[in-house]
Chains A and B, each alone.
Chain A
Amino acid sequence: MEENFNPELLDAAAELSAENPEKSYQIAFTGNGITLFKISIVNLILTIVTLGLYYPWAKATSLSYLYSKSTLEMEPFAFSGTGKEMFVGFIRAFLILIGIVCIYTYISYSGYPFPAFLFYITALGFIIPFAIHGSLKYRSAKSSWRGIRFGYTGDRNELLKLCIKGFLYTIFSFGLYAAWFVTNIRQYVLGHLKMGNAEFEFKGDGTDYFVINFKGYFLTIFTLGIYSFWWQKDRFQFFVDNIRLKHHEDKVVFRSNATGGDFFGLIIVNALILFFTLGLGFPWVIIRNLEFGCRHIELNGNINLDQLQQEQGDYSDATGADMGDLLDFGFTF
C-alpha cells in the first residue's frame, strides 16, 4: 500500500505554504510503568472498597497521569475531566441501559420475543452513535494542550445517519462494506475534531482500507498468522498517514514509520509481559503501547503552534463517554 500513499504525501508536502518554514514536531510519551502500576493498585483498592463506585474517579486519575506524560513539542497534554462528572454520567448511562433491559425483558416475557429483540437491536443502534458522539464531545472538551482545548463539533443525527447507513450496507454486503463504514466514520469524526482553531482532517479512502484488509486477511491465513503483524502495520499506517491538522493555510501531516517488525516486537513482548506477570504487568503494556505510538508517528508541517486560539467551549456531560465504557467498545481517536 505504501506506493499509494507516497504521491499523496508528496502532494501534501507541496501544498504547504511558504509563509511558515516547514519543520518536524516532536511527540513523546514519558510515563513509567511503576507509577502507573501504583496508580492502578490504589485505584483497584478504592474501587473494591467502594464496590465499584470509585470507578469514574479511578479513570480520571489514570487519564490525567497518561495525558500529563504525553507531550507535543515538549509540552504536556492535560486532561481536566473529573470523577464527579464521570460519576454523574455513569449513573445516567447505567439507568438508560437498565431501562432498555427492563423494557426488553418485559416485552419478551409478555410473549413477544421477536419484537423484544427488534426493540433491543434498535435501542442499541441508537445508543452506540449516541455514546460515540458523547464520548468524543466530552473527551475532546476535557483534553487540552498549552491551555487550548480540543473540541468535537460533529452533529449527533448526522453520525446516527452514517451509522444506520453503514450498518445496513454492511449487513447487505455480507460485511464487505465494513471497510468503507469504518473509514466514513473516521472521516466524519476527525473532520469535526478541532484543536483550538486548528482543524483535523482524515483523507483516507474506504477502497484503500478494503484492499489493506483483503490482502491482510488472506496473507495472514496463508502465512499461518505471521503476516498479521504487517497487516496491523498497514492498518496503523492507513489511520495515521491520512490525518492532517490544518490551521488557515498551514498544515501538519501525520506519518507512521512503524514497520511490521516493530509491531511484531511490540505485540510479542506485550504478550510475554502479560503471561509471565499473570496480568499484573498490564500497566507496562499500556506504557509500551503509548510509547510505541509516539515513537512511530512523525509530524511534519508548517503550522506555528504558538498561534493557536481558544475556540472550543467546555462540555461536562459525560453520559455518552460512560455509556461507551459500559458497552465496552474500545473507541479511541
Chain B
Amino acid sequence: MSDLYEALFYDGIQSKPHPVYINYSYGNVRVFDYQNNLIAEQVLQQATVSETAGQLYVYLNAQKTSFVVLPPAHPLIKILQAENKVNDSSWFAKLMRQKILLLASIILLLGIGLYCFSIFVLPNIALALITPKQESKIGRQFFDAYMQSKSIDSNATVYLQKFADNMHLTDKYQLHAYVVYDTEVNAFALPGGYIIVNTGILKKMKSYEELAALLGHEVTHINERHSLKSMLGSISASIFLSIISGDASGITAFLVNNAEQLRQLSFSRKLEQQADDASIEIMIKNDINPRGMISLMKRLQEEEAIKVPELLSSHPLTEDRIANAKTKTAAFVNRKFETRKDLEKAWVSMLK
C-alpha cells in the first residue's frame, strides 16, 4: 500500500468538509477517515479532476457531490493531473492539448470548406430539388416584391406578352412578360418565367428583331435556370454569413426584401454567351433575322458610350459578344428573312 496524504473530503450530505487521508495507487483514489476506515473510492478515469486557485478537486461521482480537495502544492496534484490527462481520450481533450495556432488554422480551413460548400455544392443540391412549378412561385414572390416600387405600362405589356407568345420561347415555363416604367436601359429575368423589360430599353430599340433577340436572351436565363442558380448562390452565401455572424434573421430579410438585388445579379461571361447563342437559335427557329442580336448589342454599346448602364456592367465585354454574335450569324448574312407581320404589328403597337 502506498502513501497516505492529508486532504479534505466533502460527502455530499452536508457542506462541512471532513479531514481525511487520501491514497492513490493502481489508478484508484481511496479516501480514509482518521480511524483508517475506507469511506469512498473511485477509479481515477471515472472521476472528474479540475483545478481552482491552485487546489485540485477530484469529484468522485457523476453528480459532483462527493469529492476530495487537495491544497495547493499537494504532492498528489501533479500525479493525478498527469494521469487524468493521459487517460482522457475524448476528442475534446485531444484537441485541448493542441496549440491555439493549430486550432485556429483548423477553424480557418473548416470555414473555407464550409464557404465552398455553401457556394458551390449547396446551390446545386437545392437546384435539383426545386421543381419548375415551385420555381414559378418563387419568381412570383420576387416579382410582387419588385413591383411594389414600380408601375406597369399596361398597354405595352399586352403587346409584349402577345409578342412573346407568338415566338416559341419555352416549353418548361409559362412566360409572363411585363413592360415597366423605368428610364434605365435594362431588362432582366426572374426565376420561373418572369421577364421584365424597362420602357428605357424599349425606346432605344429600332426593330422587332432586336426585341426578339432580347427576349430570346432573357428566356434562356429562365430556361437554363440561371437566375435561380444565381439566387441560390446568393442565398447560400448569405446563409453562410448569417451562420458566421450568428444572425439567423438575416436569411428571412434577404428572402423577403432583396428582389432589388436579384435584378442586379450578374451572370458569368459563359452564361451570358450561352444566352446569346441560344437566343440566336430561337430567332432562327422563329424565322427572325438573327442579326437582330448584333444590332441590339450595338444599341447597348451606344448607350455604354454615354454611361455604363447596369445591363452592360453585368454583361462584360460587349465587344466580344458582338464578335461572337457575328460569327454565329455569319451563315445567315445572305439569307432573306420574311418580315414576321404578327411580331411587327405587336412591336409597333407596343411603342404607341
Contacts and interface: CB of A to CB of B under 8 A. Distances in A.
A1 interface: no
Contacts of A125: none
A68 B57 contact: yes
A44 B59 CA distance: 27
A149 B15 contact: no
Contacts of A79: 64
Interface of B: 10-17, 50-53, 57, 59, 62-67, 69, 91-92, 95-96, 100, 103-104, 106-107, 110, 114, 245
A159 interface: no
Interface string A50-73: 000000010001001000110100
A41 B65 contact: no
Interface of B is mostly: mixed
B14 A45 contact: no
Interface in A273-308: 279, 305-308
A42 interface: yes
B62 A80 contact: yes
Interface residues of A, number: 41
Contacts of B50: 64, 68, 76
A44 B107 contact: yes
B11 A147 contact: yes
A38 B15 contact: no
Select the residue from A42, A46, A309, A310 with max chain B CB neighbours within 10 A. A42
B67 A147 contact: yes
Given A49-B110, A147-B64, A147-B67, A310 B12 contact: yes
Interface in A147-180: 147-149
Nearest to B51: A68
Contacts of B104: 41
Interface in A231-263: none
A145 interface: yes
Contacts of A308: 14-15
A147 B15 contact: yes
Contacts of B15: 145-148, 196, 305-309
16 contacts: A30-B52, A30-B53, A41-B104, A68-B50, A68-B51, A69-B52, A144-B64, A146-B10, A146-B17, A147-B11, A148-B15, A149-B65, A305-B15, A306-B14, A310-B12, A310-B65
B64 A80 contact: yes
A45 B67 contact: no
Contacts, number: 97
Interface in A78-115: 78-80, 82
Contacts of A46: 91-92, 95
Contacts of A82: 62
Given A30-B53, A45-B106, A149 B63 contact: yes
A74 interface: yes
10 closest Cβ pairs, A-B complex: A308-B15, A147-B10, A306-B16, A78-B64, A80-B64, A147-B65, A76-B52, A146-B15, A147-B12, A42-B95
Nearest to B50: A68
A267 interface: no
Nearest to B90: A57
A49 B95 CA distance: 13
B118 to A, nearest CB: 12
Nearest to B60: A147
A9 interface: no
B279 to A, nearest CB: 39
A244 B325 CA distance: 83
A34 B99 CA distance: 12
B156 to A, nearest CB: 36
Given A149-B63, A308-B14, 16 more contacts: A30-B53, A41-B100, A41-B107, A42-B103, A49-B110, A75-B69, A76-B53, A76-B57, A80-B64, A146-B10, A147-B11, A147-B65, A148-B14, A196-B15, A305-B15, A310-B65
A133 B104 CA distance: 38
